[in-house]
Amino acid sequence: MATPTLERIIVYPVKSLDPHDTAERVEIRPDGGLSYDRTFAMVDADGDYLNGKNDRRVHELRSWFDLKAGRLTLRPNDGNPVAFDTDNREAIEAWLTDYFEEPVSLRYDEHGGFPDDTLASGPTVISEAAIREVAGWYDDITPEEMERRLRPNLIVSGVKPFWEDRLYRDEETAIGFRIGDCEFIGSNPCRRCVVPTRDPDTGEETPGFRETFVQKRAETLPEWASEAWFDHYFRLMVNTFVPEATVGKSLRVGDEIAILGERPYPA
């Protein structure tokens, strides 16, 4: 059997905007997230996140992030790209305010970021085989597009579809696993929101996406998956906790992965 291997590392420098593939390695932050992942977040005048869940215009906004230069480039689907130094947040906020036609602030947190799951705030994990399998449930969605819909951090190769369902148990028992020098604790299968049901470039709803997903996920749930978390089947990908000893260590593409066994579910 092939060895489970960390195939790719993906971060989302601005929460809700486009992904950025890291080169070969990334460090684990104090909050358990990956360096550069969701370091910035767009918020409205009420302090609420601007994201694809509540504003479809987020889907129509392209972004690129130059990690070394600290430069963020933004472009509407129907417009020209504009590059900003991330130190000049006032200019970025002015551009975003003009784009969304309402006041927008850009928050920054280098150490904690703005994770989707504030409890299990470690990187999310999925197998590339699962991404391919789920894309195959739909006629016109490629694996590349499905990955953009799901927005994972860590993609694992060398395993069968839904291998990641081995990485959780129930609300009392979690599963420890190691990637290279870094230990993680698998929390739960990620509960999906409305974002995966939409075209990642336009925000257009894919008819029947959720219904198809729920039906096929129930039919293909592997025997090794615990059903304790499945109050519904619109769940895929695994959320994680990060033990303190892992903070400051680095993940590297090509790291081998080993399941360590059951752990008490973190309080």
Give yes or no: residues 128 and 103 share one domain: no
Last residue of a domain, one of 54, 82, 108: 108
CA distance 129 to 116: 24
Give yes or no for residue 1 having a pLDDT over 70: no
207-216 average pLDDT score: 98
Give yes or no: residues 95 and 12 share one domain: no
- Residues 118-127: tens digit of each pLDDT: 899 999 999 9
Q: How confident is the model at residue 110 (pLDDT cuts 50, 70, 90)?
A: confident
CA distance 140 to 121: 32
Last residue of a domain, one of 108, 127, 151: 108
Give yes or no for residue 224 having a pLDDT over 70: yes
Give yes or no: residues 146 and 251 share one domain: yes
What pLDDT is recorded for position 118? 87
Read off the amino acid at residue 6.
L
CA distance 256 to 258: 7
Give yes or no for residue 265 having a pLDDT over 90: yes
Of 127, 122, 134, nearest to 196 (Cα)? 134
Q: How confident is the model at residue 86 (pLDDT cuts 50, 70, 90)?
A: very high
CB 58 within 8 A of CB 193: no
CB 6 within 8 A of CB 254: yes
Residue with tokens 């486009």: 18
Give yes or no: residues 21 and 89 share one domain: no
Which residues, other chains included, contact 211 with Cβ-Cβ below 8 Å and sequence gap of 6+? none
What pLDDT is recorded for position 111? 85
- CATH number for position 158: 2.40.33
State whether residue 82 is helix, strand or coil.
strand
CB 24 within 8 A of CB 253: yes
Last residue of a domain, one of 81, 108, 135: 108
Give yes or no: residues 101 and 124 share one domain: no
Which tops the pLDDT comparison, 120 or 67?
Answer: 120
Alpha helices in the chain (DSSP H): 89-100, 128-135, 143-150, 209-220
Give yes or no for residue 147 having a pLDDT over 70: yes
147-163 average pLDDT score: 97
11-35 average pLDDT score: 92
What pLDDT is recorded for position 2? 77
Percent of the chain having pLDDT more than 70?
99
Q: How confident is the model at residue 24 (pLDDT cuts 50, 70, 90)?
A: confident
Full domain range(s) for residue 104: 40-108
Give yes or no: residues 174 and 61 share one domain: no
Give yes or no: residues 57 and 17 share one domain: no
Give yes or no: residues 135 and 95 share one domain: no
Q: What average pLDDT is seen over the chain?
A: 95
Give yes or no: residues 104 and 223 share one domain: no
Give yes or no for residue 96 having a pLDDT over 70: yes
127-133 average pLDDT score: 98
* Total tally of structural domains belonging to the chain: 2
Q: For 35, phi and psi rounded to 5 degrees?
A: -55, 135
Give yes or no: residues 194 and 244 share one domain: yes
175-185 average pLDDT score: 98
Give yes or no for residue 112 having a pLDDT over 90: no
14-26 average pLDDT score: 90
76-90 average pLDDT score: 95
Give yes or no: residues 220 and 141 share one domain: yes
CA distance 55 to 203: 9
Report helix angle 209-220 to 128-135, nearest 10.
120
Q: Specify the range with the lowest mean pLDDT, choosing from 23-27, 69-73, 245-249.
A: 23-27
Give yes or no: residues 182 and 233 share one domain: yes
Strands (E), the chain: 5-11, 20-21, 25-27, 40-43, 61-66, 71-76, 82-85, 105-108, 125-127, 154-157, 173-179, 182-191, 235-241, 250-252, 257-264
